[in-house]
Amino acid sequence: MSLGNNTDNSDLARRAVLYEAAIQVVVHHRPESQAVSFSEDLIAEREQAEANGLAQVDFDGNVSGYANDELNGKPVSAEQRTQVQELYSALCEREGLKPES
């Protein structure tokens, strides 16, 4: 069933990678040239942890953390959040995707 949005799951997954890549660049100072592949690997590891029951889940079923602390993200400040959003939008545009807001 479509809800009027033609976004498929691969686009959503790619946006998640690009958003994480923006975080890696802004918060962790990872070079942009490495951030996307690092983020792909990180998200795959998080998904594996979730599948293996190694993720902490809140009352709404959302993941709130991982047993392996390396999979947990650092807090993002308000200033960094603006930079992340700007870089995320640019990364999406480069790949022909409309950024999620």
Residue spans of the chain under pLDDT 70: 1-7
What is the model's pLDDT at position 100?
Answer: 85
Q: Which residues contact 88 (CB under 8 A, 6 or more apart)?
A: 18, 19, 21, 22, 99
Q: Please indicate, yes or no, if residue 100 is contained in any of the structural domains.
A: no
What is the model's pLDDT at position 22?
Answer: 98
Tell me which residue range forms the domain holding 70.
Answer: 9-94
Q: Please indicate, yes or no, if residue 99 is contained in any of the structural domains.
A: no
Q: Please indicate, yes or no, if residue 1 is contained in any of the structural domains.
A: no
Domains: count for the chain: 1
What is the model's pLDDT at position 7?
Answer: 55
What is the model's pLDDT at position 3?
Answer: 44
